[in-house]
Structure 1
Amino acid sequence: MNNNLIMLINIVNIIIPILIAVAFIVLIERKILGYMQLRKGPSIVGPSGTMQTIADGIKLFIKENLKPSSATPTLFFLSPALFLLLALILWTIIPCPNPNINVNLSLILILGISSLSVYSLLGTGWASNSKYSLIGGIRAVAQTISYEISISIILLSLIILTGTFNLNAIINAQNNSWLIFSCIPLSYIWYISSLAETNRTPFDLTEGESELVSGYNVEYAGGPFALFFLAEYANIIFINLLSTILFLGGNLPINIFPINIIIIAIKTSILSSTFLWVRASFPRFRYDQLMFLTWKSYLPFSISFLLWNIILINSINNAIPNTFL
């Protein structure tokens, strides 16, 4: 009984901060977009519109859940729940300040869990029995697979440089210098790939309104749509938190809780704000431009940088014994 209670408390401790963070980033996004487009943004519900996100969430969950008559019921309602569940599981691995699941191969676990989300997207498109949903799901899977290859190679380069798969060890390896300074090209590719990985502008081709109405979730309303919404923004915050750990890590000279958490939150908030800035500034790419960028630009470059890191590390390892001789 005590173990079940502790597990329940840990789950609540994960879910509640994520929901608050999602509500906060949605509010900030609408405020930033309103400011950049000379609009007010949310300003009525709550002080300065701060309760607007909560009101929208309540509205979605109390609305009627509609389902196409020809849809597959089980998969139709299971896919959004699976999408959100995978997004929440990823947060248990992040060491802030201590991970709930501490494994040495944490980066491999993150890649494996995040890759499972394509099954949810494809299942959503197929179960809706709509051509728009199916095309949107296929686009999402193709886009995710394409950019996960570049992301995986970038992670492999960082693993070679730091000599570890563990996120805690990668943070400690940056105490003297952030990896972004020595891996500026990789950080640039990582940032663009993270935009595509989370289906954000200018790579939100799965939600192309001009040709797909709303993409894979076009047939969803109410609660299931809210689950997709929560998972999408939870993934946005997660990918920026992971970017902070990988490229802007390192502990403070005084590594005291909660100061270290506040510093990480500030870095993550800055990166998340750039996501919102990009959405307000850039138009959507064409799908062929997206595929060209990943397969003919980022993939060859990331492989070249990986080979360079391997040669560099081998040269350093071979030179160290000679210096002692």
Structure 2
Amino acid sequence: MLMLISFINFLILFLMVFLSVAFFTLLERKVLGYIQLRKGPNKFFIKGIFQPMWDGLKLFFKELNYPIYLNFFFFLLSPFLLLMISIFFWLIYPFLCFNYIMMLGLIFMFCCSSLMVYIFMMISWSSNSNYSVLGMVRFISQMISYEVMMMIIIMNLMFMINSFNLNYFYIYQLNISFFFFLFFILILLLISFLAEMNLSPFDFSEGESELVSGFNIEFSSLLFIFIFMSEYMKIMFMGLLFCEMFFGLMMSKFYLNFFILLFMFLIIWLRGFLPRFQYDKLMYLIWKLILPLSLFLFMFNFSLKLLNLYH
């Protein structure tokens, strides 16, 4: 009976995440529209609220076009694998009741994040297109670089809570949030999230002016839906992770949803007014500036851990 309740809980969670992805796209188009002094979607029902449904139906019923010279099996399999890994991220989130708690949730998150690199490589390689391969090379080098920094920064936070369990961030922030005395780490982690998720101003793998949509250029119809949903699901999960690590809101569902919405608005706002960086400056930022800082913080916290200053 307990396993059945847990299964129903996670099934409801995944359905809500899928619906959230649909309306996240509506929020993005609306906010970008008002930033650019236009209205955005406004035809379907009230203020265009049914626009995500019609976009999804349009993509679902479109013809599946693909190049002649491709690796057909991997071409069909890779978007589905990418969506499955994006769903696995949400397994570390306790929903409704504590029927299932992953004690090594952050390690599990690291493993899923690392696996996504191979799936993106499979997506671009199976397309057998020059544009997709160029987008893959730029994206994977960027993703691996900033993923290393992201893991080092999260390990600094793990030294403070003495656990790999995400729920411990709530316990250690009952009195005061990490936001107030770890603001510098918060900025570093936000930059790593933006670059690791390929978001503006670091969206180099999908640079329309150079790569014509990048690694997913040959995908259409249902396969494109899988890739699109997986990227937005990961954005929302990173918002959850960000809010939990610096505000400790896992048990306060209303405030957690509100802060995740603020994080999503921040992502859209940054896309609306920041131009795209140069690629060489992006790699200089990580290897010459942010990575040495994060390693210094890691060694500092590790030294405090050895001296038993964290209890």
Structure 1 length normalisation: TM-score?
0.90
What is the match of residue 30 of structure 2? 31
Does 2:301 align with 1:274? Answer: no
Task: After TM superposition, give the deviation of residue 314 of structure 1 in Å.
Answer: 4.7
C-alpha distance in structure 2 between counterparts of 1:282 and 1:115, whole Å: 28
With over 3 angstroms needed to count, the CA separation of the structure-2 counterparts of 1:40 and 1:144, relative to structure 1, is: same
2:153 aligns with 154
Question: Cα distance, 1:95 vs. partner?
Answer: 2.9
SS in 2 for 1:317: coil
Q: Deviations over 1:172-197 (max 9, x none)?
A: 11111111222111110101111111
Deviations 1:85-141, CA, capped at 9 Å, x for gaps = 100111111234556752221101101011101111101110000010011112221
Residues in 2 aligned to 1:73 and 1:308: alpha-carbon distance in whole angstroms? 50
- SS class of match (2:92): coil
**TM-aligned CA distance change 1:97 to 1:150, over 3 Å:** farther
**Structure 2 counterpart of 1:299:** 291
Q: Tell me the distance in 2 between the aligned counterparts of 1:313 and 1:134.
A: 43
Contact 1:135–1:216, Cα closer than 8 Å, also in 2: yes
Equivalent residues of 1:30, 1:42 under 8 A apart: yes
Larger radius of gyration: 1
Give the distance between the partners of 1:115 and 1:199, measured in 2 at CA.
Answer: 15
- Could you say which residue in structure 1 is the equivalent of 2:191? 192
CA shift, 1:268, in A, is 0.7
Match runs of 1:160-309 below 5 Å? 160-250=159-249, 260-309=252-301
Measure the CA separation in 1 of the matches of 2:153 and 2:117: 20
Q: Is the CA contact 1:92–1:100 (under 8 Å) kept in the aligned structure 2?
A: no
Could you tell me how far apart the structure 1 residues matched to 2:76 and 2:278 are?
31
> 1:5 and 1:112 mapped to 2: Cα distance?
27
What amino acid sits opposite 2:111 in the alignment?
Answer: G
Partner amino acid for 2:262?
A: I
Q: Which amino acid in structure 1 is aligned with residue 162 of structure 2?
A: G
Q: For residues 151 and 5 of structure 1, what CA distance do their matches in structure 2 show? A: 35
Looking at structure 1, the residues matched to 63 and 9 of structure 2 have their Cα atoms a distance apart, in angstroms, of 31
Moved more, 177-186 or 187-196: 177-186
Q: TM-score, normalised by structure 2?
A: 0.94
CA RMSD of superposed structures (Å): 2.1
Query: Between Structure 1 and Structure 2, how many residues are aligned?
Result: 311
What amino acid does structure 2 have at the position aligned with 1:300? P
1-structure distance, mates of 2:140, 2:87: 20
Residue of structure 1 in register with 2:68 after alignment: 69
* % same residue: 38
Superposition deviation, residue 262 in structure 1: 1.1
CA deviation digits over 1:253-309, x for unaligned, max 9? xx6xxxx21110001110111000000010111111111111111110011112222
